[in-house]
Amino acid sequence: MKNEIIIGMSGASGIQYGIRILEAIKQMKGFETHLVISESAKQLIKIETDYSVKDVENLGDNIYDDHDFTAPIASGSHRSRGMIIAPSSMKNLASIASGMSDTLISRAADCCLKEKRPLIIMARETPLNLIHIENMKKAMEAGASILPACPAFYPRPKTIDDIIDFMAGRALDLLNIEHNLYKRWRE
């Protein structure tokens, strides 16, 4: 299998997580990324970071519009190592949990689930209501890994970048990708 990774960024605060994942993969040899940024995520890039949307797109190898259902990642026959959605809005999570493939992000996620490929959903909301929790449960039962954006503090982060690196590293861990983004427990 190719070392292709699908990265989706939907409209939830915490867009820095997805950017850091892209930066980390870009520095690794042998990986190819397929990037989809929703329209609301593009707005959050402008609001939450000093990056432009073009800067973020330049971190990906293959860039798709969130409504391009002709993209290769819209088909289960396109093989990949899996998909990370960072961040995932609750709307995006609900679409995935209900099997409603109305965007390329949710369609690519659906393909990962039906093909039994890893799907990591970095859910970003607080506090959670029962509907959010039920959607997380449904997505997990379908095969997704839910990775709430809840960083650990045992590595004693000194900067916001340390916190972002921890969460980006945990997402990469779930795809079994070696990295050194954070100090592991008892290291």
User: Does 77 count as an annotated binding residue?
Assistant: no
- DSSP symbol at 66: T
Q: Contact at 8 Å (CB) between 7 and 13?
A: no
User: Does 124 count as an annotated binding residue?
Assistant: yes
User: Does 17 count as an annotated binding residue?
Assistant: no
Instruction: Report the C-alpha dihedral over residues 182, 164, 91, 121, rounded to 10 degrees.
Output: -10
User: Does 82 count as an annotated binding residue?
Assistant: no
Q: Which two tokens stand for residue 22?
A: 């892209």
Q: Which two tokens stand for residue 87?
A: 């961040």
Ramachandran assignment for 168, one of left (phi > 0), alpha (psi -120 to 50 degrees), beta (any other): alpha
User: Does 169 count as an annotated binding residue?
Assistant: no
User: Does 12 count as an annotated binding residue?
Assistant: yes
User: Does 24 count as an annotated binding residue?
Assistant: no
Q: Contact at 8 Å (CB) between 45 and 52?
A: yes
What φ, ψ does residue 184 adopt, rounded to 5°? -75, 165
55-61 long-range contacts (CB < 8 A, ≥24 apart) are 56/9, 56/19, 56/22, 59/19, 59/22, 59/23, 59/26, 59/33, 59/35, 60/7, 60/22, 60/33, 60/34, 60/35, 61/32, 61/33, 61/34, 61/35
Going by the annotation, the residues of the binding site are 11-13, 38, 124, 154, 170
- Can you say which residues are annotated as belonging to the binding site for FMN? 11-13, 38, 124
Residues making up the annotated binding site for dimethylallyl phosphate are 154, 170
